[in-house]
Amino acid sequence: MEYGEHLYNRLGHDVSKHEYIRQKLRELGRLLICSRKTTPLRTIQGHIKPANFMHVVQAAKEMAGYGCETNVYKCPSLALRIGYSLKKISLLVESRANVQSDYSAAKDARAFRRVYETRWNELISSASLRTLQESKWNTPQLVPFTKDVQTLHSYLDAQQQDLFSKLSSETSHQTYTELTKVTLTQVILFNRRRAGEVSKIPLSAYLSHNPSDPQEDVNVALSDLEKRLCQHFRRLEIRGKRGRKVPVLLTPAMQQALDLLIRKRKECEILPENTYLFARPSSLMCYRGSDSLRYSAKVCGARTPESLTLTKLRKQTGTLSQVLNLTNTELDQLADFLGHDIRVHRQFYRLPEGTLQLAKISKVLMALEQGRLAEFKGKSLDDINIDPEENVHLDSDHERDPDAPCDPEAAYESDSLGVLFFFFSIST
């Protein structure tokens, strides 16, 4: 209960986090039930004692479905989350014990944490992380097709126009709900923004005056097209992941729909206390963007609707941006708009690893196999052209005297220098 109170003090101001708090408490409840069945432990505080550490490990393994023969977990992430919760509870126990001058309990909590930091990775985390990583191997990586994305955009535009005209002529709770979901999906899809960030846009952020027109000094550096784009879109600033300020761009059609939804809030029974832009009627909650996008992807007629998820769409944007050959400054701007740290953007949002190995690195391997590495001295991977079905005859360009003596050291030195020079050139 103290752990739940701690979570509520940190996250309770956000209604959307209440489900997360309930989930963490349910996990601890499941651990306690499992411990009572398989170990002598009866309370959560009993888990935070160094003498009971192996009982805790046994209960966590049983709860996460650990297989002794296969060394694999059925639910590896559950074992990891339990460990994080127990560590946090040990800090709370130590804090309460210090306040109550119960130094024995505080000492036990510190000792448990030291044992946890020493043994938990060995007994729980290593196998859990290995199970998670290996489950991702050799799995097909679905990338959204451009045609499917266009189909989804067309479907949403048609739905928005139809629902806008219906709600303008006649107020209806159902029409209001459908138009809210469609507009929410459009904003998420257009900006490639995280669903939770857009879903929780406060009404005050939209109503506040945030001019998008550039200043006169900046206006000089823009082209005519860029000036028109600045007048075409409206820009909002909202709270993103880890408290970052992230932008959201709105088209005139989106603004028109949102203005209508705001005017109809009272008639559609949106509570005055509901501060969200995409509010639910008769509730303090907002609509979930991930649910809206999933439904629209399913009914829009896309060929592979399962690929039209926010994660895949955001990754597609970051990955395909490499085709544009952006400068470092432009890449920083794109990563900042998506809400990414530039280091994470460069590490994870790149062309698929399998495609790179098949299309790029295979050239190096074929050149080594065919003995043609010296031909490509000073070239990049993109400049190398090797046909995998080409039959190569060694020494076809330079005839060698069969009776001439061969110097193996000179040949080895030449090949080694060629390999080193080649890899140095492609790395730079």
Please state the pTM of the whole predicted model.
0.67
Q: What is the pLDDT of residue 418?
A: 46
Residues 6+ apart with CB under 8 A from 55: 35, 39, 40, 41, 47
Q: What is the mean pLDDT of residues 378-398?
A: 59
Per-position b or e across 279-301, b if 16+ CB within 10 A of its CB: bbeeeeebbbbbebbbebbeebe
CA distance 67 to 60: 12
Domain boundary assignment for the chain: 2-135, 146-306, 309-351, 361-427
- Which tops the pLDDT comparison, 370 or 3? 3
Say whether domain 146-306 belongs to CATH 1.10.443. yes
Average predicted confidence (pLDDT) for the chain? 81
pLDDT value of position 114: 96
Dihedral sign from CA coordinates of 153, 159, 163, 166:
positive
Who has greater pLDDT, 254 or 382?
254
Taking only the tens place, the pLDDT of each residue in 402-416 is 444 444 444 444 444
Q: What is the predicted pLDDT for the residue at 377?
A: 75
pLDDT of residue 383: 72
| pLDDT value of position 391 | 53
